[in-house]
Amino acid sequence: MARVYEMAEIQLKGEAPAGSQVEVDVMAEITGGGRTLKRKGFYAGNQTYKVRFLPDKAGIYHYKVTGIVTGEGTVEVEPADGKHHGIVRADGTHLRHQDGTFISTFGTTVYALAHQPEELTEETFASLEGGAFNKIRMCVFPKHYEYNKNEPAYHAFARAEDAEQLIFYDNLGGERSVQPFDTHRPDFDFWETFEAKLSRLFEMGIQVDLILFHPYDRWGHSHMTQEDNLRYLDYVLRRLAAYPNIWWSMANEYDLFYDWKIEQWHEIEAYISMNDPYRHLLSNHNCFLEYDYGREAVTHVSVQTRILSRVAELQKEFGKPVCYDECCYEGNLKETWGSISAKEMVNRFWKVTVTGGYCTHGEVILENDIVTKKQQDDAVLWWAKGGKLKGDSPARIKFLREIVESLPAPLDPYPTGLGKMALMSGEELSGMINALSEGQRGFFSVLGRMNEKEKLYHFLSEYTYAGHIGEEVYFYYLGTDCSARFCPEAAEGKSYRAEVINAWDMTREVVSEDYQMGDEIRLPGREYVAVLLCAQHSSISPDDSSERVTNG
């Protein structure tokens, strides 16, 4: 039995492949829901072949498998259960499931989740049940980094037996000599354990931004030949593409693959987009050098940056959803990327979220009693291994998520003040300035004369964080500004319910049932305040296709 928006699977028994256990000739023709599809199968070990597909319509599906195993049969697909909504795809700068429901993602990071023992993984899942997050960033391959030195129980592939040693510098500068991986021979134990985690995450309504390559490596997975890279992807796509909750992240910090040429990434990008029959979201995450999100196959921005004011800029440049997939982690490490306060983590989420972007959390809290090198290597930090969430930001992120999910549609950026001008071309700026009255023109013409560096400095540091949903909703986040009075813009002549929100204390107070543009709202004069204006008679009537997912 299968269900719409859930992975369906056909299993066949047959002899283990004689040669490659990846490039197996197994193809299913699947007819149902008014269409006929072709899907490649994969070898799952133990004389078992599987073909998976993801139905988006209910009904009886007939399949016929040909190749080194053959078979025929039917799968009955029941209607969706209402809990799952299908693959997430970009719709302009927003994200929607296959059934049309919008999703605003609230991400977290557990890079090495795939390689942690069961007990710890259960703790991680229990933490995720808390509901702050509906997206997780995790890697296929194990991770070698500070606080992450554990040897994985399994690798994705067996080691090649007769190959020359692979010699390379690991990411911490150590010289390594290993047997290369044999990408013709998946380690089925690994893949089964891995899939169990993917399925649990699916059940919890959590999107998986699956990191296919990363440079934090002492085992050689970042030093495979491109032929091996693509064969690995072949197996991933055959095996995992029917998971509805997967996004493809080509890499974490792709630019730290020092010896890779950019063309290698382009080839990987092309391979995935041509071989993924479901067009899952696809992007590539940077450390220093941002990937070109304008490329056709790239579906969204997946940026690492600490400049929180770039959602509108990136949306304008690329016309795609903007995910802040790394903006530092709540924690107490030596490193600047791992020592922002919970308040700052929450602050960053709000800035990105109210401007219509999607932010990702991480936590690196190292206990004080950890002293020795060994203790450090074995430490359990959420961002790599999961476990218990110790920080104070997740509760606040959940609070924000609930507010956003109560809105009738996704937010778009609402640039005002200098931020608005930052988005204008030179011509647009001159046009705006010339249209002003003589009394106002002087001031703005000075702004127009700033050089690029001055512009960047000013626009970065004087940005107003705001979003809107047409004229129905305006959402302002004041960040660390302590204004005690505020006159938010809204649509002229419309009446709004005005709410003052404290992002840190998690309080909401309706301060006016009839706020109109030009009115002044009194604020507490403290940090972390937001103002939400909702039109009193909303003209956006949610229909089936724009209904929000209010819980994963």
Where does this chain bind a second copy (CB under 8 A)? 169, 173-175, 255-256, 258-259, 287-290, 305-307, 331-337, 339-341, 344, 366, 368, 417, 437-443, 445-447, 449-450, 452-454, 456-458, 460-462, 464, 478, 480-487, 522, 525-527
The CB-of-288 to a second copy minimum distance in angstroms stands at 5
4: nearest Cα among 47, 73, 44, 61: 61
CB proximity list for 364: less than 8 A, separation 6 or greater = 147, 329, 330, 331, 332, 333, 338, 339, 381, 382, 383
Q: Give the CA count within 13 Å in the CB-facing half-sphere of 209.
A: 33
* C-beta of 58 vs 333, nearer to a second copy: 333
The CB-of-230 to a second copy minimum distance in angstroms stands at 23
The CB-of-226 to a second copy minimum distance in angstroms stands at 18
* C-beta of 81 vs 520, nearer to a second copy: 520
CA 502, distance to chain mean position in Å, is 26
* C-beta of 203 vs 481, nearer to a second copy: 481
For residue 137 the two structure tokens come to 């960033």
* C-beta of 46 vs 368, nearer to a second copy: 368
76: β partners: 60
**CA–CA separation, 210 vs 111, rounded Å?**
9
* C-beta of 178 vs 256, nearer to a second copy: 256
* C-beta of 163 vs 457, nearer to a second copy: 457
Q: Give the containing element (helix H, strand E) for 485.
A: strand 485-486
* C-beta of 122 vs 392, nearer to a second copy: 392
The CB-of-483 to a second copy minimum distance in angstroms stands at 4
**CA–CA separation, 474 vs 411, rounded Å?**
9
The CB-of-336 to a second copy minimum distance in angstroms stands at 6
Burial class (CB in 10 A: 0-12, 13-18, 19+), 496: buried
The CB-of-159 to a second copy minimum distance in angstroms stands at 24
Coil vs helix vs strand at 34: coil
| CB neighbours of residue 314 within 10 Å | 23
* C-beta of 451 vs 541, nearer to a second copy: 451
For residue 131 the two structure tokens come to 């509901």
**CA–CA separation, 361 vs 344, rounded Å?**
11
The CB-of-262 to a second copy minimum distance in angstroms stands at 11
* C-beta of 27 vs 447, nearer to a second copy: 447
CB 53 within 8 A of CB 8: yes
Q: What is the DSSP letter of 466?
A: E
* C-beta of 125 vs 444, nearer to a second copy: 444
Burial class (CB in 10 A: 0-12, 13-18, 19+), 213: buried
* C-beta of 178 vs 450, nearer to a second copy: 450
The CB-of-232 to a second copy minimum distance in angstroms stands at 22
**CA–CA separation, 59 vs 316, rounded Å?**
42
The CB-of-294 to a second copy minimum distance in angstroms stands at 15
* C-beta of 200 vs 420, nearer to a second copy: 420
224: nearest Cα among 232, 216, 58: 232
The CB-of-546 to a second copy minimum distance in angstroms stands at 34
User: b vs e for 185-210, b when ≥16 Cβ sit within 10 Å of the residue's Cβ?
Assistant: bbbbebbebbbebbeebbebbbbbbb
* C-beta of 234 vs 330, nearer to a second copy: 330
**CA–CA separation, 283 vs 320, rounded Å?**
11
241: β partners: none
CA dihedral for 349, 354, 355, 357, sign (positive or negative): positive
The CB-of-278 to a second copy minimum distance in angstroms stands at 33
Phi, psi angles (nearest 5°) of residue 191: -65, -35
* C-beta of 195 vs 392, nearer to a second copy: 392
Spell out the long-range contacts of 283-286 with Cβ–Cβ below 8 A and sequence spacing 24 or more.
Answer: 283/247, 283/248, 283/249, 283/250, 283/323, 284/249, 284/250, 284/251, 284/254, 285/211, 285/249, 285/250, 285/251, 285/252, 285/253, 285/254, 285/325, 285/326, 286/253, 286/254, 286/255
The secondary structure of 83-146 as a DSSP string is S----EEEETTEEEETTS-B---EEEE-TTGGGS-HHHHHHHHHHHTTSS-SEEEEESS---BT
The CB-of-365 to a second copy minimum distance in angstroms stands at 9
The CB-of-265 to a second copy minimum distance in angstroms stands at 14
The CB-of-481 to a second copy minimum distance in angstroms stands at 4
Q: What is the DSSP letter of 548?
A: B
